[in-house]
Amino acid sequence: MRCESFNDVLVRDVLVESSGQLRSGIFNNDGVIEDSLLRRHYGVYIDARTDPGRGTANTGPSGTVIFGGYLRSHFGHFLLETLNAVWALHEHPHLPIVWIPLGDETQWLDWQLEILDLLGISRHRHIINCGDTHYERMFVAQPGYEIQRTFHAVQEKALAQVAPASVIAGKRLWLSRGGLTSPEGALVNEGELEAQLEANGWSIFVPDGQTIARQLEEISSAQIVSGIAGSAFHSVLLLRQVSSILMPVFTRIPKNENFETIRRRKGFEQVRLDVPPSALEVVAKGKWHGANTIRLLEPSLVLEPLLRAQELIG
């Protein structure tokens, strides 16, 4: 893994071009620093502008800083992408951290600060870059996670800072999306399915609005964890070990490889449940994944496989 130092760099904030593409990057006299680019494999991607520009730029604090990443407010993308160089932040614990805000994310959210505290990264080290800015000297690290593709062992170790709770025998947990304020990924009749799961001994847990510590306690103490595949499952990145069997239910995003990339690196057991398109009604279309809000035509298509999964724990 690389963590290199560069002198006299220009941090270019995220710009939206007429094409709709996002352009950003960190430059020195040789051009764009490759490891500063956020490489993605679907939808929007962040890349460097061809010309870093020679206009007026702000002057950052003197001395040496380290590049943290692109600040995002989406829970899953924060864990996977914003924190993709956390391994290097641990190796240089006294350097101020420069973050490039993606969109309007110029303030830390409470849950983001909680995660930074859990990772042992002081909240007093942060600089949220504003406008094109020159820095005297900056460390730029190789990303430890590349979405849909790569998860390095040193990155896994750097993220896995939280001790899991003791597993409660027979505990089966459904991660509900009922607390989401956005319709993104919503299953409009999830409550019907949850009522049937509760009647069969499952616990329903709504992660949204809970502390990260509480989420990790609930997840790590269950023998089986299920729910509509989404960011809530990625919180296991913060656990030192995962003893639960994860059963994500895939509806909207059948090709999301992050679940397998994380499972393979952390070594836990995962059983994937795919709901066929014929069993779903699209209520509202999304921008990137085809369906934003969906209805499950027959809840038993999810309920029955989950009940059979109880055989996994005896």
CA distance 196 to 226: 14
- Give the separation between CA 223 and CA 209, rounded to whole angstroms: 23
Contact between 202 and 172 under an 8 Å Cβ cutoff? The reply is yes
C-alpha radius of gyration, the chain, whole number: 21
Q: What is the domain class of 172-313 according to CATH?
A: alpha beta
Contact 262, 238 (CB under 8 A): no
CA distance 129 to 71: 10
The tokens of 165 are what? Answer: 């709770």
Determine contact, residues 236/160, Cβ cutoff 8 Å. no
For residue 260, give both structure tokens. Answer: 């397998």
Three-class SS state of 105: coil
Dist. CA 56–CA 59, nearest whole Å: 10
pLDDT tens column, 173-202: 999 987 555 555 577 888 889 999 999 999
pLDDT, greater one: 299 or 247: 247
Report residue 20's pLDDT band, with 50, 70 and 90 as the boundaries: low
> Domain residue spans in the chain?
3-159, 172-313
The band of 135, judged by pLDDT with boundaries at 50, 70 and 90, is: very high
Give the separation between CA 117 and CA 131, rounded to whole angstroms: 27
Q: Are 246 and 270 in contact (CB under 8 A)?
A: yes
Lowest mean pLDDT of 40-49, 150-159, 173-182, 235-244, name the range.
40-49
Question: How distant, in Å, are the alpha carbons of 135, 216, 242, 268, 288 from that of 239?
Answer: 35, 7, 7, 11, 30
Contacts of 136 (CB under 8 A, 6+ apart): 7, 8, 60, 62, 63, 64
Residues whose CB falls within 8 Å of the CB of residue 36, separated by 6 or more in sequence, listed in order:
25, 26, 67, 140
Average pLDDT over residues 6-18: 81
Q: pLDDT by residue (tens digit) across 251-289?
A: 865 568 899 999 999 999 999 888 887 788 777 665 545
Give me 76's structure tokens: 């899953």
* pLDDT tens-digit readout, 34-50: 888 877 655 445 666 65
Phi, psi of 35 (to 5 degrees): -70, -10
Give CA separation, 154 vs 138, 158, 183, 227, in Å.
21, 6, 35, 29
Query: pLDDT of 75-85, one tens digit each?
Result: 999 999 999 99
pLDDT at 129 exceeding the cut of 50:
yes
The answer to whether 286 and 252 are in contact (CB under 8 A) is: yes
Helix (H) or strand (E) holding 9: strand 3-16
Q: Which residue has the higher pLDDT, 39 or 150?
A: 150
The SS3 of residue 226 is: strand
Beta bridge partners of 224: 172, 245
How far apart CA 312 and CA 306 sit, in angstroms, is: 10
Q: What mean pLDDT is reported for the chain?
A: 86
